A = this chain, B = another copy of it.
Amino acid sequence: MSRKVSLKDIAKEVGVSTALVSYVLNNLKEGRIRKEVAERIREAARRLNYRPNQVARSLKTQKTNSIGLILADIANPFSSSLARIIEDEANKLAYTVLFGSSDENPEKFERLVDTFLNKQVDGLIISPPENSETALEQLQKQEVPFVLLDRYFPSLNTNYVLLDNYRAAHLATTHLLTQGCDCLGMITYATSLAHLQDRERGFVDALKQSDLQPSRALIQRVGIDNEPEEIGNALDQLLSNSSRVNGILFASNIIAVQCLRILNRSSIRVPGDVKVVCFDESPFFDLFYAPLTFVRQPLRQMGEAATRILTDNIRGTTNITQLQMDGELSSTHSSTELR
């Protein structure tokens, strides 16, 4: 690459100090620099195609204006939707975002954190995997600004922004009951992650508290790596003769899609034979022949809040913000359009 032009080059060109060039290009000391000199500096910068080296600036200012975003898997539509919202909000606040996928693997997660911190990101937005508490405590000890997104650890007093999963699951379950289901099933994950346990508790409590107590309720748990076979087996269990459920709550959109495709193939009709409610929304739910009911997470609010809380922390705020937002029950064929 042809040598890049630096402040020094401009200074030489114009015949002033680099300090002055820096002031002018950063619009500092506005009134205190001769208009004429300022203009010559700007002109030279333009002419030489000057590009401020943010790396040098970062080294000096100890700020990179970049944040790290760690999700389970950016290829998951739920994650990429959040990523997009965070990107927009971060850009608005003059931050760039680095991203990484943890694959639910705490070691990989720690490696990502390490890489990002070495790159001197100003803070992190994290959807943490299981068993990452220690790593997060480490971050707290090092006073790295971060906010958890979508997930949290009750044992840790950190910033977080997530759905009120208990209420959402409660709502979804009650919906199934009022739709007349008397034998309910849930397919969720075998995990210690609190947000998923909240969904399970919401399911169970809704059943307990309802007058419409189902004759049976079954919970199937699959691995968080979403093995299609395992999900298929879970569904089979719920639909087997001995436990024929007529209402199912799916704890994620991936579980939902996997199960709906199986229902398609087995010609089990929704909602005729079995009613379902899914967690998370997807524009693709519209492909299903019947309207699907799902818990819509307020993704935009969540992403924006997480980004704002993070940047506030970066800029010095020390208070901890914990947000549980309400989801709403929605249904395709009435939902917002895909873009």
Contacts and interface: CB of A to CB of B under 8 A. Distances in A.
Contacts of A80: 74-77, 79-80, 83
B338 A254 contact: yes
B287 A142 contact: no
A83 B87 contact: no
Interface residues of A, number: 66
B228 A257 contact: no
A119 B96 contact: yes
Contact of A226 (B91, B98, B143, B339): B339
How many copies are assembled? 2
Nearest to A118: B54
Contact of A97 (B88, B99, B143, B258): B99
A119 B87 contact: no
A46 interface: no
Nearest to A111: B91
A228 B49 CA distance: 42
A127 to B, nearest CB: 15
Given A55-B59, A55-B120, A75-B80, A98 B97 contact: yes
Interface in A253-299: 254, 257-258, 260-261, 264-265, 282-289
Nearest to A255: B338
A99 B77 CA distance: 16
Given A74-B87, A265-B333, A288-B288, 12 more contacts: A2-B142, A49-B142, A55-B58, A55-B59, A59-B59, A80-B83, A98-B98, A226-B338, A254-B338, A261-B338, A264-B286, A289-B289
